């Protein structure tokens, strides 16, 4: 296979440490995760035994909690290093990359007690978190959340509902975004153990992709939590959620570049092998131009990805990072949608067969223009930032 990580590639300008990290992630994706793709596609998920084996492999390969500090049981990688890994994981279909758990970024703000109870075991693969913000009436506009946490003696009583909770099936606790006493200015994130009385799964809808995990809907009925279950402080909910979005959006951008790269590699190989009208289809200009456009689109997205992640690795400017992550997520997710669509076209009827990775990638990347803020919302963020801070933050 014509592999894009050969010499003369961007990778050759990486430090040896970064090249090794990237190679390790590539091998993990190809040797450990890709063999599960068919099982996941056919069964719309992975069985418990497979998930257990992968979890052990993630730990053995030291790919657990790459986004958390070593002292908290993670790998303590920079944003740039995380990106190198996520790019390779994005090549795996059916979102099996999500088995390489990256606990929510805001967890690093946990108290010492919360770290012992939640964060360290999560980073060590013994517990699993899921982040629950979205509700029936609160999607792009989370201020419409009606999940509330009313103050009671010694803690809070949570009532409400959360939708689309990714990994909600495998998680044993949820990070629930709720408004204290129903006041949106008091938005707060709570640790809620799934086995707490009053926490129920409402339903588990089916989605376009055949994801390694589910995205259930949860109901919270008079769920009692004590003061120790607040992550950060009362009223910090939106800041924590924004931090989560930044990290999640960078992860999406990196995985989209990986997904598009695999789709291009498949299409390029197919175009070389497939003969019609007595010649390889790559010799038809219509196909060659598609390959050219796909290649340039990935090159542009990848250049942006590497540059922005390198900048963010060295910057603690929360607002600037939020602004740039929105641009990156928008560009890379739209690029991946287009590239995967063209790859399907190049494979013709075979591109529409689920047994081919291109078909699964095409389906998988569709959600990247929706979750963690739709493309329209990313454009709204970028437009707002230009108005407030000028163009320099993007093109300076
Ligand atoms: C598979 C999947 C997994 C998910 N996982 C999670 C999760 O783990 N945790 C979680 O909390 N959420 C999760 N989500 C929810 C996801 O973040 C929301 O679906 C997303 O933010 C959009 O919200 P919505 O679906 O309610 O769409 P809506 O907000 O209703 O938007 C509908 C349409 O209107 C557009 N629109 C809305 N407002 C504007 C505006 N101001 N300007 C222009 N256009 C606008 C949108 O772009 C969209 O096209 C997940 C979603 C999916 C599909």
Ordered by where they begin, the domains of the chain are 10-123 (1.10.540.10), 129-235 (2.40.110.10), 238-395 (1.20.140.10)
> What does the block give as tokens for 365?
């990347």
Quick one: tokens of 104?
A: 């929510």
**Candidate from 163, 164, 326, 379 with most ligand 1 atoms within 8 A of CB, to mutate:** 164
Helix axes 237-273, 79-89, angle to 10 degrees: 40
Tell me what pLDDT residue 242 has.
87
Is 61 close to ligand 1, i.e. is its CB under 6 Å away? no
* Predicted local distance difference test score (pLDDT) of residue 9: 64
| 142 Cβ below 6 A of ligand 1 | no
Pairing type for strands 173-180 and 148-152 reads parallel
Question: What percentage of the chain exceeds 90 in pLDDT?
Answer: 93
Closest CA to 170 of 205, 220, 123, 216: 216
- Tens digits of per-residue pLDDT, 357-390? 999 999 999 999 999 999 999 999 999 999 999 9
> Quick one: how many helices (H) and strands (E) in the chain?
12, 10
Distance 286 CA to ligand 1 centre (A): 36
- In 3-state terms, what secondary structure has residue 25? helix
Query: CA-CA distance, 221 to 157, in Å (whole number)?
Result: 9
- Find the 360 Cα to ligand 1 centroid distance in Å: 22
**What is the token pair recorded at 248?**
């999640």
Which atom of ligand 1 is the closest one to the Cα of 380? 42
Q: Averaged over 34-49, what is the pLDDT?
A: 97
Q: How far is the CA of 140 from the centre of ligand 1 (A)?
A: 5
Instruction: List C-alpha distances in Å: 222 to 152, 168, 190, 262, 341.
Output: 11, 19, 14, 47, 46
Q: Is the pLDDT of residue 270 over 50?
A: yes
Task: Tell me the pLDDT tens digit for each residue of 192-238.
Answer: 999 999 999 999 999 999 999 999 999 999 999 999 999 999 999 99
Q: Is the CB–ligand 1 distance for residue 215 below 6 Å?
A: yes
At 1, the pLDDT band (50, 70, 90 cuts) reads very low
Q: Is 164 in the pocket of ligand 1 (CB under 6 A)?
A: yes
Residue 38, SS3? Answer: helix
- Asked if 157 contacts 176 with a C-beta cutoff of 8 angstroms, the reply is no
Question: Is a pLDDT exceeding 70 seen at residue 352?
Answer: yes
pLDDT of residue 272: 98
Cα dihedral: 327, 332, 338, 344 (round 10): -160
Give me the residue label for tokens 């990935």.
Answer: 298
- Band (pLDDT 50/70/90 cuts) for residue 12 is low
Could you tell me if the CB of 371 is within 6 A of ligand 1? yes
189: left (phi over 0), alpha (psi -120 to 50) or beta: beta
Identify each DSSP E strand in 204-353 by its residue range: 217-226, 230-231, 275-276, 279-280
What are the distances in angstroms from CA 36 to CA 61, 99, 374? 17, 11, 29
What is the position in ligand 1's atom list of the atom closest to the CA of 141? 29
The response to whether residue 165 sits with its C-beta less than 6 Å from ligand 1 reads yes
Rounded Cα distance, 388 and 386, in Å: 6
49: part of which helix (H) or strand (E)?
helix 48-60
Instruction: Give per-residue pLDDT as tens, 94-133.
Output: 999 999 999 999 999 999 999 999 999 999 999 999 999 9
């Amino acid at each position: 296979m014509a592999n894009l990580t050969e010499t003369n590639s961007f990778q050759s300008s990486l430090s040896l440490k970064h090249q090794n990290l990237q190679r390790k992630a590539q091998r993990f994706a190809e040797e450990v995760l890709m063999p599960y793709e068919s099982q996941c596609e056919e069964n719309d998920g992975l069985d418990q035994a497979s998930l257990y084996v992968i979890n052990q492999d993630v730990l053995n390969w030291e790919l657990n909690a790459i986004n958390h500090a070593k002292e908290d049981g993670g790998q303590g990688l920079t944003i740039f290093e995380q990106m190198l890994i996520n790019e390779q994981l994005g090549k795996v279909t059916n979102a099996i990359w999500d088995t390489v758990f990256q606990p929510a970024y805001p967890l690093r703000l946990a108290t010492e007690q919360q770290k012992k109870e939640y964060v360290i075991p999560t980073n060590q693969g013994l517990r699993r978190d899921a982040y629950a913000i979205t509700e029936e009436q609160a999607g792009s506009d989370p201020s419409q959340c009606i999940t509330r946490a009313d103050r009671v003696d010694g803690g809070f009583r949570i009532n409400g509902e959360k939708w689309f909770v990714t990994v909600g099936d495998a998680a044993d606790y949820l990070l629930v975004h709720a408004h204290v006493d129903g006041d949106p200015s008091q938005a707060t994130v709570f640790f809620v153990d799934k086995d707490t009385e009053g926490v129920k799964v409402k339903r588990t809808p089916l989605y376009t992709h055949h994801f390694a995990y589910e995205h259930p809907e949860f109901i919270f009925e008079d769920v009692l939590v004590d003061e120790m279950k607040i992550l950060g402080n009362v009223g910090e909910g939106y800041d924590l959620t924004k931090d989560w979005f930044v990290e999640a959006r960078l992860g999406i951008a990196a995985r989209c570049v990986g997904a598009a790269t695999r789709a291009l590699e498949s299409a390029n190989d197919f175009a070389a092998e497939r003969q019609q009208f007595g010649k390889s289809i790559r010799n038809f200009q219509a196909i060659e131009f598609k390959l050219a456009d796909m290649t340039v689109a990935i090159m542009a997205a990848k250049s942006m990805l590497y540059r922005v992640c390198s900048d963010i690795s060295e910057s603690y400017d929360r607002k600037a990072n939020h602004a740039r992550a929105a641009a990156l997520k928008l560009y890379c997710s739209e690029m991946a949608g287009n590239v995967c669509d063209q790859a399907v076209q190049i494979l013709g009827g075979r591109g529409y067969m689920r047994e081919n990775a291109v078909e699964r990638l095409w389906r998988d990347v569709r959600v990247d223009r929706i979750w963690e803020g739709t493309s329209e919302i990313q454009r709204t963020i970028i437009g707002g930032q230009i108005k407030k801070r000028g163009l320099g933050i993007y093109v300076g």
